[in-house]
Structure 1
Amino acid sequence: MPGKHNADRSRPGQSRTAAWHAALLALLVLACLPLYAANAIKPSSPLTFGILPIGGPSESLDAWRPMLDDMGKALQRPIHSISVSTYEGLAQAMSEDRVDVAFVSGVIALDAVTRDRMQVIAQLTRGDGSHGYYSVLLVLKDSPIHTLGDLYRQPGHWRFARGESLSTSGYLVPETQLFASHKLDSDTFFASVQVNNHQNNALSVANGEVDVATNNTADLERFAEHFPEQYARLRILWKSTLIPHAVIIVRSDLPPRLRASIADFITHYAKTGPDVSVERAKLRLIHDISGFAPANDAALIPFADISYSLERRRALSAQWVNDAAMQARLQKIEGDHQHLIRLLKANEPMDLPHRGDEP
């Protein structure tokens, strides 16, 4: 039959066309697989949260874990945490891009913002409504050091314990306000110097292992809870001017929507929703924290001023071949500081998405 013959003749061509279409479709699917896979994995890829060491690293990790678990649920991705024993260790982890979000002091944040592509998104707020904390010098209650004059009058006599060089209250503020202002260097003024965290330095004073140590009012509250007997032996010899609270920073090369969602979660945590009381209890595990206020890089200006003051006072007390060399150094310090302030002020607050939006 003619009709049947024509139909039979068309089948090979149709088969070849169908096979070609199927092959093309398969190639397109295979080509799209890497892109699809990347997009499928990205929303659930983990974030690493770096934690400023308070006491020991293990203690810090345990205190933060409940809040970080909530953060992981909100962002729909695992939140890994890292807490090292030293400030320098945390700074190094950020410089190596091993940290995506971090809770750090202003001085560490300043370095991370200027060198490691990080930006400030929030600043700690405390339950007592304070805007900051104070650096202190600790001595024993029955110490012969009753005034700063007693301390200064005997160079090379006292044993000293301080924080790391990146510690705002443990080193930079007392070094600026107490020693550099008197043309002294704490590392050469004392008979001996030990460098440790705030908890261990307070214990060293209480146990008579050193004569004087730096600390801060916030960590002292925690110390009083954990070591009431040792705390009772201490006396505050000196208290600094107000130091702004620590901040939370995030990598600026994360996707903008993810950064905004992280900021949204952190700044709303323990403030809204049906679980406010539970979330507040989780924050109290960290310390007397009421939450985190929205912030940007301009929050670091006070810490830039601290570093500037220390550098300037050191330059003024140094030995120079002539006055012109000293003035050149002072001008460089001033110029660098003004440039940094302009950069910090240029940062703009984020536009946050509505709560619950996907990253």
Structure 2
Amino acid sequence: MTPSLDKKAEQHPLFQKVEKVRRRPAKVRDTTVTLAHGSGGKAMRDLIDDIFVKTFDNPILSQLEDQASFNLAELATLGDRLAFTTDSYVVDPIFFPGSNIGELAINGTVNDLAVSGAKPLYLSCGFILEEGLPIETLREIVKSMKIAADNAGVKIVTGDTKVVHRGCADKLFINTAGVGVIRSGINISAQNLQPGDAILVNGYLGDHGTAILIARGELALETTIESDCQPLNDLIDKIIEICPKVRALRDATRGGVATVLNEFAMSSEVGIRLFEPELPLREEVQGVCEILGLDPLYLANEGKLVLVVPKEYAETVLEAMKSHSAGENSHIVGEVIASPPGVVLLQTAFGTERIVDMLVGDQLPRIC
């Protein structure tokens, strides 16, 4: 029988040589990111396969479609509503004490899902790379993202990569979006606060903002403080298991605890009173704030919850939080009051009170 044209083509030496090249494991041979890595050609495919697909490897991502698809029936077994969020990360510097931009991107999006009462499941990642970024720097950040995703129990299932000319970005920016499923019967909202409710936080405040400030090297200050960047979904699971009537949850990132509590107070039209002696602050953070004239209540955090629960649950929830590694230094820091509505008050150690208003401007830009 005469071989088909396809069979003849497959036997051609040039065809076999091309196929051998195609089967060769993708490997980025450049030492820095070039514009070719964003061109859509072989250099871009090698970058994606070698750094992203190989590291984030999972059955959904490995299909290499333009989107990730999920089984709706399986999602429905976890809850009755979807939670969807997105965030972009432009932190400067991209490496800082205790973490880096990649780990921050994963944990930040996981936490944004978790504070709604959702179980975080899937993430997307979009990378804006500056021409000249060292490939090993990118590889290190991507590996840290994989570790962070595994620790949080989520999968990175789709993404995108763009390269811009040198000087048009600052090394790299990352966008992450996340999908989770909210448990049935859970209703967590900033509009739920009622007078008498207790306000808790899960540890020291202002660590991330202070770590970034020192890492920038613009000040002659030295400290061992590290960012508090961590996933909070496991801690939140434990809280909800003990107290399904959680009123409100928020991770205190940009604008810090003060901004979160002002948003709560305005949304629920109630007042909030904080107790200054109960606020967990490291001496180093207090010292940096005193030197620079900053208020630690406005400093960013990347692993801290602000939690509001009915008063009768407060001590039980506090005990449970302290038993978790992400909440060992938890405190009850305040209470919800009827008036003045929309106002946050701080009761000082001297018994006086002052208003803690919304942050005007930005104490520290590019903090996340």
TM-score of the alignment, normalized to the shorter chain, above 0.5 = no
- Normalized against structure 2, the TM-score is what? 0.23
Larger radius of gyration: 1
Q: Which has the higher helix share?
A: 1
- Normalized against structure 1, the TM-score is what? 0.23
